[in-house]
Amino acid sequence: MSKDLLLEIGTEEIPAHYMPSILSQVKDLAGKSFGEAHIAYESIRTLGTPRRIALIMKGVAEKQADVSAKHKGPSVKIAYDADGNPTKAAMGFARGQKIDVQDLVVEDGYVYANVTSVGAETAGLLPDLMKGIVTGLNFPKSMHWGSLDFHFVRPIRWFVALFDKDVIPFELANVKSGKVSRGHRFLGTGDFEIESPAAYEETCKEHFLIVDPEVRKQMILDGLQKLADEKGGTIIMDDDLLEEVVYLVEYPTALCGEFDEDYLKLPEAAIITPMKDHQRYFPMRDKDGKLMNLFLTVRNGNDYHLETVQHGNERVLRARLDDAVFFFENDRKKSLEAHREALHDVAFQRGMGNMYEKTERLEALTSCLLKESGVAADEKALVRAARLSKADLVTGMVTEFTELQGTMGREYALLDGEGDTVSTAIGEQYMPRFAGDELPQTNEGRLLAIADKLDNI
């Protein structure tokens, strides 16, 4: 016979980018723990929202499997005397294996004990297994609260632990397990009971909780696409942003907002970065590929008073774009070459000079790399790109939106008339930023990126 199992760890809101790793850990820990305990199961699923980590195991055996093992003992010469009687060594070995000395078997000159351990009832083992899964999780940063000597990613508020309809009793961080979960912060009606693991998802849905991340993701994609189609736009999709939004909400509803067309005079990056990196919005392009003065976002709730939420998001974005306009106009009062002088005041590393000196090293390095590699590249443009490569670090735009370093250097170089080759190389200098990132597409960009990384090393 078998039963289904549910463990829900209820917490304060967990950082979205922690959740995929946490759910993967829960699945691995459960599989390993039940495997080592010789408890069979059919399948494991992990579900999660910002406030809950859930484990569902189907077909968990009600009893451990019996385990047979063959243990090697002393040699026959040591185990038996000249008359064939068992010695103290044989009797001690048999006693240790909890079998009668007469049950020892002889093979290959040694005595062996064939031992079968009868499996225990699963229900009696589950409390320790559940606690082991909770305490076995690792996080980039943990918290402890109150006077507890206990660490977790966020304060634990409740546990739901069920083996079929029976509560798995355990306690951690002064929180006792039960069958009571909590609904959506704003839409839910408070606490509610989970009757069984099989009823978990549907019961949560009744309290405005979509606990399956894949279901939430599809709801978000469908909602965004519907709005994009209505507006005649194409979503500038970002998989990392999408994953983050999935773990920021428990009940997603997509909405569309608008901003003044005058902001489109800014470089695209100066509009898209505040949208995506700061506000978690999805920009859109029109049928001609031009950036639209619209954005898509996801509300953690239903469509009640959605227009009020829309206006609130529009006000927030307008403030961010006003900042961008101010910094952009202020930056454009000087050329990128003129900004470069301020690099004297920006340290590269302690005891290793400043960023102005770094650009001088990059000029020499890129020129040397070009000659030694034999790569076809415009030396004059390459050295010029190296000279201006770090100048955007002291601009107001990059100081405010640090994600734009290199990108704003490229934009400002184009506006200064430096040309496509120089500007593109400046934009490509940090590539690749991480494993799997896009690589520089121009030889000038490749050489500058290599030189920058060599100098860092």
* pLDDT exceeds cutoff 80 at 67: no
Q: What is the pTM of this model?
A: 0.85
pLDDT digits (tens, 9 = 90+) for 403-450: 999 999 999 999 999 999 999 999 999 999 888 889 999 999 999 999
* Per-residue pLDDT tens digits for 162-214: 999 999 999 999 999 999 999 999 998 899 999 999 999 999 999 999 999 99
- Residues 6+ away with beta carbon under 8 Å from 288: none
Question: Does residue 101 register a pLDDT over 90?
Answer: no
The pLDDT value recorded for residue 76 is 84
| The pLDDT of residue 343 | 95
Average pLDDT over residues 71-87: 87
Q: What is the mean pLDDT of residues 349-353?
A: 83
Q: What is the pLDDT of residues 12-48, one digit of tens each?
A: 999 999 999 999 999 999 999 999 999 999 999 999 9
Least confident of 41-50, 111-120, 356-365: 111-120
Q: Is residue 73 within 8 Å of residue 272, measured between CB atoms?
A: no
Q: In this predicted structure, what is the pLDDT of residue 290?
A: 96
How does the average pLDDT of the chain come out, rounded? 94
pLDDT band at 83 (very low <50, low <70, confident <90, very high): confident
Mean pLDDT of 239-250: 96
Where b means 16+ CB within 10 Å and e means fewer, 62-81 reads ebbeeeeeeeebbeeeebbe
Q: What is the pLDDT of residue 143?
A: 95
Instruction: Show Cβ contacts of residue 273 under 8 Å, excluding neighbours closer than 6 positions.
Output: 401, 403, 404, 407
Q: Look at residue 267 and give its three-state secondary structure.
A: coil
Q: How far apart are CA 375 and CA 180, in angstroms?
A: 67
